[in-house]
Amino acid sequence: MGFGSYDESEQERQQQSGHDDEDEDGINVHEHDHDGSVSVESDVSTDDLVGRLGEMRDDAEDDD
């Protein structure tokens, strides 16, 4: 049996069996949804954090 024959027969088999249970094969995008909140307490100011981010970006550009 040639490679092309396998492809055609496999495709036909999937088409015949695939139409009956299409809803079951779907992806549930809400399966792992969670309600909640996140809070972060830090002694570092926003300006300090943004400044550090800028330094990190500059370092990354220097490495390229």
Whether 13 has a pLDDT exceeding 70, the answer reads yes
- How many whole angstroms separate alpha carbon 17 and alpha carbon 9? 12
pLDDT at residue 62, rounded to an integer: 86
Structure tokens that stand for 48 in this block: 């300090």
Share of the chain above pLDDT 90, in %: 27
What one-character DSSP code corresponds to residue 20? T
pTM: 0.35
- How many whole angstroms separate alpha carbon 53 and alpha carbon 59? 10
